[in-house]
Amino acid sequence: MLLLVTAYQEFHLPQGRWERLNSPTTKDLNAVYFIDSLYGWAAGFSGTIIHTTTGGNDWIIQDSKTVNNIEDIYFFDRNLGWAIYWEVFNFPFGTYVLRTTDGGENWSRSSSPQESIFSKCILFLDSLNGWMGGKPYPIVRTTDGGNTWTEAEIDSSTFAFFPVYDIQFYNSKFGYASGGTIDCCGITWWTTNGGDNWQVVDTPYVAPEPLYQLYTYDSLKVIGVGGDFEPIGFGVGIINSSDGGGSWNFEYIGIPGVAWDVDFRNDYEAWAPLGGEQKLIYSKDSGITWDTISTPDSAMIFKIIFSDSLHGFGVGLDGAIIKYKPNINSVENENDFLVEGFLLHQNYPNPFNPTTKIKFHISNPGHVKLIVQDILGNEVAALVNEELSSGSYEILFDAGRFSSGVYFYTLSAGNFFCSKKMILLR
C-alpha cells in the first residue's frame, strides 16, 4: 500500500501571474467551483451556469432552468452537483435547490423552495449530507441529497441568527461558518460534532464587519476575510483562530477594499480578490503579511478557487474569468515555510484513481502516525505508525480496494496534528 522515501529535495513555486480567459457570457459571475484542474463550473446572474472540461480553455453555457440569479454552486465529483437561487418575484418565496447527476447537462429543480429562507452558500460532505447558509435562519442541513432541509441547532448567543455567507467543513466532525451584518459585526460559528450543534463566537471576538469567507488549515487553525468597503473605511480585515474557534484575532491589514473570498494555493500561499478595487491580495506566509497586485484587464473578481497548487481560477463582473499561471522560472526552498518544523502536503494527484502520493516533513525524531479516514471518521488505513528520524517523506497510498468518495488523511507527530481532504474518483 505504501512506499517510503526519505531525504528528497522539493521546491515550490512562488507568486505566479494571472491571465484573463475568454468567457461565453457577459453576465456577472458570483460563484465558481472546480473539482479538479480540468472540470469546473461558474454561475451568476440571470440563471447563468457555464462549464469547462479543459481547465478554462473552453466554456459552454448550461441550461439552469431559471432566470433568477444563482447564489452558489458546488460539485461533489464530475457528475454530481448543486446550485441555489432565490425566488423573490413569485410566491412561494425562498431558496430553490438545483441538482444535476450528469455534470450539468441536465439540471432539475426542487419541487418547492425553502420558504422564507434565503441561502448564500451550499456545500456537501457526500452525496447525501449537505449544508446551506443564509438568512434569516443562518444554517440548514440535508441528509437526503437536498430534497428536504432542516434548521440546524445553534446556541442562544446574541449573535446566533445573523446571516451566514460561508460554511466550511474541515472533516466530518469539525465545521465553521462565517457571516455578519455591514457596519455591525462579523460572526463565526463552529461545530465539533458534525453539525449536530453549532456554537457562536461571542464578545470580545466579534469582528467589526462581516466575514465573507473562511479557510481551515486544520482542526485548530482557521482564517477568515472581510473588511470595510466604505471610501473612508478601514479596508481589508483578516481574522484568525489557532485554537479551534475558541478565540479569534481580528485586524485590518492596511489595504483598501474588502476581501470577498480566500483560498490557498498551497500550505503557505493565500490569495483573495478585492472585487471593485480591481486587485488581488496574496500572502506567502500563511496570511501573516499581504501584498497586492492588479487584476488582468482591470477585472472585478469576487470569487477565487485553487483546484491544486498549479491551477487557480477567479470570476466576477461582466462574465470575467481569470486563471493562475505559476512562475516556472523561479523557485524557493519550501523548508523556509515550515510551520513549527512540521509540514503535511496536499496529496497529488487529487482527485486520484487509485493511487496518490502524500508528502510530509518532520523536524524532530519521534513516533509518527499517518492514517486515512472515511467521511464518517472511521480509520480505513494506517500508512505510518512508527518511529521516524527527522526529514522529508513520501507515501504512496493505493486505494484500489476503496469506493469513490471523500477521505481524510491525518498526520500526528509529537504536538503536531494536521489533516487534509482527498477525493477518490473512479
Q: How confident is the model at residue 15 (pLDDT cuts 50, 70, 90)?
A: low
pLDDT of residue 328: 56
C-beta neighbour count of 401 within 10 angstroms: 9
E strands present in 253-318: 257-258, 263-264, 270-273, 279-283, 291-294, 301-308, 311-316
- Give the dihedral sign, CA 295/297/300/302: negative
pLDDT of residue 270: 94
Alpha-carbon span 210 to 275, nearest angstrom: 15
For residue range 126-174, list pLDDT tens digits in order: 899 999 999 998 999 999 999 999 999 998 788 889 999 999 998 888 8
pLDDT of residue 22: 96
Give me the percent of the chain exceeding a pLDDT of 90: 61
Helix (H) or strand (E) run with residue 252 in it? strand 249-252
- Write out the three cell numbers for 11: 521546491
Q: How confident is the model at residue 207 (pLDDT cuts 50, 70, 90)?
A: very high
Q: How confident is the model at residue 217 (pLDDT cuts 50, 70, 90)?
A: confident
For residue range 240-268, list pLDDT tens digits in order: 998 888 889 999 999 999 999 999 998 78
The residue count of the chain comes to: 426
pLDDT of residue 336: 37
* β-pair partners for 94: 87, 115
Alpha-carbon span 282 to 264, nearest angstrom: 9
Q: How confident is the model at residue 106 (pLDDT cuts 50, 70, 90)?
A: very high
For residue range 32-87, list pLDDT tens digits in order: 999 988 999 999 999 999 999 999 999 999 999 999 999 999 999 999 999 999 99
Question: Domains of the chain by range and CATH?
Answer: 15-325 (2.130.10.10), 332-424 (2.60.40.3080)
Alpha-carbon span 306 to 389, nearest angstrom: 33
For the chain, what is the mean pLDDT? 88
- Write out the three cell numbers for 182: 455591514
For residue range 317-363, list pLDDT tens digits in order: 999 999 998 875 443 444 333 444 578 888 888 888 999 999 988 88
Whether the bond into 296 is cis, omega within 30 of 0:
no
Residues 6+ apart with CB under 8 A from 106: 63, 100
Alpha-carbon span 42 to 75, nearest angstrom: 11
With a cut of 80, say whether residue 6 has pLDDT above it: no
- SS3 assignment, position 20: strand
- SS3 assignment, position 277: helix
pLDDT of residue 423: 86
Q: 329 to each of 142, 297, 307, 325, how far by Cα in Å?
A: 47, 24, 22, 12
- Write out the three cell numbers for 209: 464587519
With a cut of 60, say whether residue 421 has pLDDT above it: yes
pLDDT of residue 349: 87
